[in-house]
């Protein structure tokens, strides 16, 4: 469907959106999209760090139990 849209088509769509919504609304919308992307990236980074920390904690405790430890 989007295979037939060229650079002029995208320019026309951008002009129509700008005329319909105005520069201020489009600008604020793009700002919100940017904040959302930033929050998503931060969440992914925090999740990755949490998983790495759990794996590091699990790797630290590899000492085998002895008979003395079991009792």
pLDDT tens digits, 8-65: 999 999 899 889 888 888 888 889 999 999 999 999 999 999 988 888 887 776 666 6
**Rounded CA gap, 51 and 38, in Å?**
20
**pTM exceeding the 0.85 threshold for the entire prediction:** no
Q: Which tokens hold the place of 30? A: 């793009």
What confidence score (pLDDT) does residue 45 get?
94
Residue 33 pLDDT: 93
Domain residue limits, the chain: 23-53
Q: How far apart are CA 38 and CA 12, in angstroms?
A: 29
């Amino acid at each position: 469907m989007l295979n037939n849209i060229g650079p002029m088509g995208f320019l026309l769509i951008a002009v129509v959106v700008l005329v319909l919504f105005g520069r201020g609304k489009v600008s604020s919308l793009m700002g919100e999209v940017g904040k959302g992307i930033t929050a998503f990236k931060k969440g992914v980074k925090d999740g990755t760090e949490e998983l790495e920390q759990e794996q590091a904690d699990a790797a630290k405790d590899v000492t085998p139990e002895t008979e003395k430890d079991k009792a």
